[in-house]
Structure 1
């Protein structure tokens, strides 16, 4: 009877381990003050990118009414570990209605508001030698108002961002 119970327990643990997905070795740092933002969640993987040297950097922008905390349960850690990518999720400083990134207001320039903050965030993180980020692998992405803001920021600073990913956002 005891052997059957131990075998069942071992089988259950093995099944749980196989179904859980890859273990996350990196870690989240919450509520960091970086690049002009008061609140940035930052995930740093233990792995390096298989491309280039060091780690990649992905800055992910929230949509309207979204909290940056939602991104901590979006499985970004799995992609971060697989692709050796630091993930930074800043909370907009200059929010418009519904906590949106204010893509339709103000000046669109490298030196204005959250455009400046995002460029500063990318430069601050990629120039920190302790983080090991390859400055040729800095990307920005967003959802909804964050998509519009990511798109505009990438257009304003093509020398900083190697690529941009947008989902469900208005164009420039």
Structure 2
């Protein structure tokens, strides 16, 4: 996800490219979403081996959210207010050989050591865990339905706009980069709290959605299902120009090329949301994401059209595998832009007029309670 300043930089970069000023365009893009970390911050190396080895440090162990804070004025304050329930929203930090990331973890009041499900939520650019929790309303549903929610945080030292680096080759692989950090953090939280390893799910928005699908491709043994909201396919970008090209629908901004072709596929069940008026990540990316999860679609599809009361219309296409089980759902939200469908206006990048993506993703996730061992692979190019 990209804010207004980033959008203007991209528009200007496209103009410079058309004028033949490629170096100026690249310099502008580097300033908006840099190819390397902030000056003076070394890039974390990609390590092999067991990336689940790491430590979780409690930063704020007992943040109990029980009632609204009075008149909050900041995004953090609004997050505290909308998470008005009796669970705990704790802060922590995960460190492994690959790198370190902070996180927030919601633990419902009904948790007493039992093996609860875990939903991993990856925020978009410019967002943080508190803001994302508020906008998606995920913590309230976690309290009602009894599951934990992990919100990893991307720092500005890793990306100046706090985007997950889905477009970098080193952050698209198993056992290395951000996927290894996120998978290691997830495993550590599961082990620490004794959560259900068969009910681990991941979802994200925009850059977070792109990283969520990367996790489904690289760690299909860990995640039982994935939710991709306004995201992009795995492996279609290896650089900033690739990223911009993919976001625009495939037309590369530099040299008139196209987004990179990818042969990745996964058997992890997926639910996809995308607004058909999205001008940040072109809606065609929803079909391209769906294509990466097409391996088990063998029993046809059903199409349902509907409309939210006083809100957006939608088309939901449901695909089934050979056993007749729902394996892929694709929601096209008519008239919606780059925003979490059905989200709360108290968070950023939300559209309350759409079908509730949070509720639909949870419904989809919990009907896939045991989908381990279904590997991702690269299939032959036809």
Q: What TM-score, normalized to structure 2? A: 0.35
Q: After superposition, give the CA deviation of every residue in 1:40-65 in whole Å (9 maximum; x if it has no partner).
A: 011101236xxxx7211111001011
Tell me what 1:54 maps to. Answer: 115
* Unpaired stretches in structure 2, ≥5 consecutive residues: 1-81, 235-382
Give the counterpart of 1:101 among 145, 164, 169.
164
Query: Aligned with 1:73: secondary structure?
Result: helix
Q: After superposition, give the CA deviation of every residue in 1:100-154 in whole Å (9 maximum; x if it has no partner).
A: 11111132211111100111011111122xx231110111110000000010111
Tell me what 2:102 maps to. Answer: 39
1:140 has 2:202 as partner: yes
Tell me what 2:182 maps to. Answer: 118
Q: What is the alpha-carbon distance in structure 2 between the residues aligned to residue 155 and residue 23 of structure 1?
A: 35
Q: What is the alpha-carbon distance in structure 2 between the residues aligned to residue 56 and residue 84 of structure 1?
A: 8
Residue pairs, 1:152-167, within 5 angstroms: 152-167=214-229
Q: What is the alpha-carbon distance in structure 2 between the residues aligned to residue 123 and residue 65 of structure 1?
A: 26
Q: What is the alpha-carbon distance in structure 1 between the residues aligned to residue 168 and residue 94 of structure 2?
A: 23
The root-mean-square deviation of aligned C-alpha atoms, in Å, is 2.3
Contact 1:26 1:43 in 2 (8 A): yes
Q: After superposition, give the CA deviation of every residue in 1:4-32 in whole Å (9 maximum; x if it has no partner).
A: xxxxxxxxxxxxxxxxx9972211012x1
Greater helix content: 1
Q: What is the alpha-carbon distance in structure 2 between the residues aligned to residue 121 and residue 35 of structure 1?
A: 8
Q: What is the alpha-carbon distance in structure 2 between the residues aligned to residue 142 and residue 98 of structure 1?
A: 16
More RCO (CA 8 Å, sep 6+): 1
Q: What is the alpha-carbon distance in structure 2 between the residues aligned to residue 45 and residue 126 of structure 1?
A: 15
Q: What is the alpha-carbon distance in structure 2 between the residues aligned to residue 72 and residue 62 of structure 1?
A: 9
* Unpaired stretches in structure 1, ≥5 consecutive residues: 1-20
Tell me what 2:131 maps to. Answer: 70
How far residue 95 of structure 1 moved from its aligned partner, in angstroms, is 3.3
Q: What TM-score, normalized to structure 1? A: 0.75
Q: What is the alpha-carbon distance in structure 2 between the residues aligned to residue 91 and residue 113 of structure 1?
A: 15
Q: What is the alpha-carbon distance in structure 1 between the residues aligned to residue 160 and residue 101 of structure 2?
A: 19
